[in-house]
Amino acid sequence: VFKTDIGTWIVIGIVGYLALGVGMWGGFQNCALKASRGEKVEMGDVFYPFSRFADFFIPAVIVGVGFVLCMIPGVVLAIWWYYAYPIMIEEGIGWSEATKKSKEKASQYLVPTFITLFVGNIVGGILGPITMALSGLVQVDAYNKVFKG
- The tens digit of pLDDT for each residue in 68-107 reads 788 888 889 999 999 999 999 999 999 999 999 999 999 9
Tens of pLDDT, residue by residue over 3-47, are 677 788 778 877 888 788 888 888 988 999 999 999 999 999 999
What mean pLDDT is predicted for residues 51-76?
A: 86
Q: What is the pLDDT of residue 138?
A: 85
Q: What is the pLDDT of residue 129?
A: 64
- Asked whether residue 135 carries a pLDDT value surpassing 80, the answer given is no
Q: Model pTM?
A: 0.59
* C-alpha span between 128 and 141 (Å, rounded): 20
**Non-local CB neighbours of 54 within 8 Å, separated by 6+ positions:** 95
* C-alpha span between 134 and 94 (Å, rounded): 25
Question: How would residue 61 be classed by pLDDT, with cut points 50, 70 and 90?
Answer: confident
Q: Residue 116's closest CA among 136, 98, 88?
A: 136
* C-alpha span between 148 and 120 (Å, rounded): 21
**Non-local CB neighbours of 116 within 8 Å, separated by 6+ positions:** 82, 138, 139, 142
Question: How would residue 2 be classed by pLDDT, with cut points 50, 70 and 90?
Answer: low
Q: Answer whether 38's CB lies under 8 Å from 56's CB.
A: no
- Asked whether residue 1 carries a pLDDT value surpassing 60, the answer given is no
